[in-house]
Structure 1
């Protein structure tokens, strides 16, 4: 049954939340950093203890964040003018003997100065013992959702399509930088809860039900964001939020292949994706083969899981007991599919696309499995800007005629070995201290060339001066330096001088 969350009920609920300070700051203030962090790890007891003296806010925290059964009188007090009988009839609350429990997960979610409430189905920790997830389960704000939030550019745009909106969290973040939002989903339950989330937060968003891009056929957007049902394996749909019904990584391939046709010229798509690592096949060739011809693309691989770990993780996520007959049967079916399709691992990461109607596409697939803290959203803006500059300076003559500066966040690390004359550098490593923290090793002449990139002279002049000083021919040096310089520009370690002069 789809909850009946009308405008009047949501207006009263919003009033109750605001009065109790049931928002991101209020909950953190009540629980404190330690109990709040424990709750985020799925450890409710510290939060329960911290909420005891919290009045109405404490009741709401226990009800919606911990999943406790609370006395009817306490719930009514916390709900203020929202009658609990109306909340029960709408599916917002459910009976638990004489007490009441949450029928839906409603939790604060914030970014910067913004705080929203997100409505979704109860997760497995909040449900009564033994109650399993349903196929139409609407997932809340999980780690994958948050990773896409951090990887999405927040530049101002006119229109955004949130494809497969789920609980609507990507659309909420889009509301901070977009004029118009369209959210689609194949699940009528997901779309109903997302629509309620938008209305609870007083955000205008168009919601359209349908499969993949069908609801927006013929339309174009400035930005498409998508957290698709990217779990790979046999073609089935156990849970709508994660299973596409398509085999393998076909769901990710579909979005990558079709998204550019729904973008305006220069428009962007940013999405999560999974891809197979198959025996005898390079994953980079696989994902690049999904692309149409009119798109810049940046594939970032953040993790690779072996088949056994992958299957176990997702079965536990769905609440399966891996020792049960049902769990063993699901695992065997999944692992058999991986074996039959020569799957050695499953890659996971982010994809940034930009539609271009002229020029040579820039397509890069990178393995970034090392740890870094900076979000990729701002980096994707810089990556696309630098990709366009490299396209405009495609010939060696163009590059040698450019003036470049070494980015302030680029540092040189050296490894030296002892010699009779003292320490002798053997490794020169350039390290970018922000963003994804790229590193590139260069030789001694390369390090000297990059040190000379201070925006005053064209690169070709620097090469000629350095070659003359070291008694080598400038043309071979320029040829050897070109791919290194291009990679350093691509990774934001060298930048066009004119950018700092604007």
Structure 2
């Protein structure tokens, strides 16, 4: 294993505040970068291709173009350009902060980035977040394989977790495996106190710098998994843990170990241990949300496997978003580890074979990726569980939908059917009704309700329930709607209620209906 040579950036609060003002003054934002380089270069940059953006940025002297070249593309700029782009910090200040190194002290001497520093903008349930986030330079900038202690920036998994997390006010929040600190920054916007942990001291150094740059106070603790918070409870736990399933033989074949993705455990044991133990660290009403991989074994439904991990006495909601076969999974993480057949066919295929052999030996037919939510009930009631596959596109951020689902489940747990019949639900504005019929037929063969937001669910409720949903405008109770349908159809009211009320519970939970 090799170590990253550069220490994390660091500086006194006054210096970091000055840097933040310079970045604001440079208009170093995602929108500005996109406008400077254009659609084609932005698209290429999204695909990890820097050349079009480099060519576009080199033609401009805008401060944001200089910062883009320096911190995101791995280009060299002059000290004079750094001075102009960051006028109060200057090249000397950027060196002191550990952001750049220079070849000399003259204006024309070249400066190069020591770290990746880029604008970040994301929408979550608490609103729009606008920060600058530092991490280790990636392959796009360096053209080299990542070091073992590489501190990853904000990737797709980080964005997924940030957008799915509930953002209701919390007293104490834990970000387990904080990395560069992005989940902790999000949590600080709606939490009184945030504890961020990581096994990597370098990662905690980056998290400390990013928190200071964002003007946020975090409590940082070094240690593995839940060890740094033994005996403590939290109102929210978020984690994007090192969940990649890598056989030991792949490392023997030359695959580098990466702290940010490799937990050093066999199979999906790390995710299993985290899921099964996180409930002990939840205060009443507390919620844990984490990402993970889990194995699909021959002859076993993945729901049974993951369901056995879920802690007793807690609510649980597991959503599988994607499944990869063994070959796809190996290829993904070989590329992520910098191993490519065109660079080292022998090493690549040896590591590839190690993955396939390990999965075959253990009967692994696929690997699922998804989100796990665990909640400790705030009151004495029976916990609920739901494990499901949702593979279609969803509208982000999902955090508000998740929070609404938890809230309505809590409300419905208190209501028997008589109380439920007294509710006056409203059909959600994103719900549409679809009829599918053969041309020339008067009656549809299929009637379904489609949800435009949330998880984009589609249900086929039957004519009676669909008619009831159409009548849910907040004016009539479910009991009144059931009575009206019974009279219209000339069937017993109890029969209508027996079909409608259970369906209404599910439609409320899934967001097709809501309570005014």
TM-score scaled by structure 2? 0.88
Instruction: Find the partner of 1:189 among 202, 209, 220.
Output: 202
SS in 1 for 2:445: strand
1:14 lines up with 2:20 in the alignment: yes
1:3 lines up with 2:8 in the alignment: yes
Alignment of 1:3-402 (within 5 A): 3=8, 5-7=10-12, 10-51=16-57, 52-82=59-89, 84=91, 87-88=94-95, 91-94=98-101, 99-111=110-122, 113-127=128-142, 129=143, 131-234=144-247, 238-322=257-341, 323-356=344-377, 357-393=379-415, 395-402=416-423
Match of 2:436 in 1: 415
CA drift of 1:358 comes to 1.7
Distance 1:124 1:478, change over 3 A: same
Cα shift readout 1:157-191 (whole Å, capped 9, x = no counterpart): 22221110001111111222222211110001111
CA drift of 1:43 comes to 3.0
CA drift of 1:199 comes to 1.4
Contact 2:11/2:96 (<8 A) preserved: no
Cα shift readout 1:397-417 (whole Å, capped 9, x = no counterpart): 554454433333322111123
Q: Which moved more, 1:282-291 or 1:92-101?
A: 92-101
Contact 1:166/1:241 (<8 A) preserved: yes
How far apart in 2 are the matches of 1:20 and 1:444?
A: 59
CA drift of 1:12 comes to 4.6
How far apart in 1 are the matches of 2:473 and 2:17?
A: 58
The aligned length equals 492
SS in 1 for 2:245: coil
Cα shift readout 1:208-255 (whole Å, capped 9, x = no counterpart): 101111111122222111111111233678111001112222222222
Q: Which moved more, 1:445-454 or 1:329-338?
A: 445-454
CA drift of 1:133 comes to 0.9
> Which structure 2 segments of 5+ residues have no match?
none
SS in 1 for 2:444: strand
Cα shift readout 1:247-283 (whole Å, capped 9, x = no counterpart): 2222222222222222221111111122111111111
How far apart in 1 are the matches of 2:396 and 2:410?
A: 23
Q: Which moved more, 1:86-95 or 1:230-239?
A: 86-95
How far apart in 2 are the matches of 1:484 and 1:448?
A: 12
Contact 2:50/2:140 (<8 A) preserved: no
Contact 1:352/1:380 (<8 A) preserved: no
The structure whose RCO (Cα within 8 Å, separation 6+) is larger is 2
How far apart in 2 are the matches of 1:484 and 1:307?
A: 39
SS in 2 for 1:125: helix
SS in 1 for 2:130: strand
CA drift of 1:121 comes to 0.7
SS in 1 for 2:194: strand
CA drift of 1:458 comes to 4.4
CA drift of 1:81 comes to 4.8
CA drift of 1:326 comes to 2.1
> Which structure 1 segments of 5+ residues have no match?
none
How far apart in 2 are the matches of 1:463 and 1:201?
A: 54
How far apart in 1 are the matches of 2:471 and 2:485?
A: 9
SS in 2 for 1:425: coil
Contact 2:119/2:132 (<8 A) preserved: yes
How far apart in 1 are the matches of 2:480 and 2:73?
A: 65
Q: Which moved more, 1:323-332 or 1:148-157?
A: 323-332
Q: Which moved more, 1:66-75 or 1:167-176?
A: 66-75
How far apart in 1 are the matches of 2:214 and 2:482?
A: 58
CA drift of 1:156 comes to 2.0
How far apart in 1 are the matches of 2:349 and 2:39?
A: 39
How far apart in 1 are the matches of 2:494 and 2:235?
A: 43
Distance 1:40 1:397, change over 3 A: same
Contact 1:24/1:115 (<8 A) preserved: no
Q: What do you get for the CA RMSD once the two structures are aligned? A: 2.6
CA drift of 1:441 comes to 0.7
SS in 2 for 1:310: helix
How far apart in 1 are the matches of 2:20 and 2:424?
A: 55
Contact 2:176/2:196 (<8 A) preserved: yes
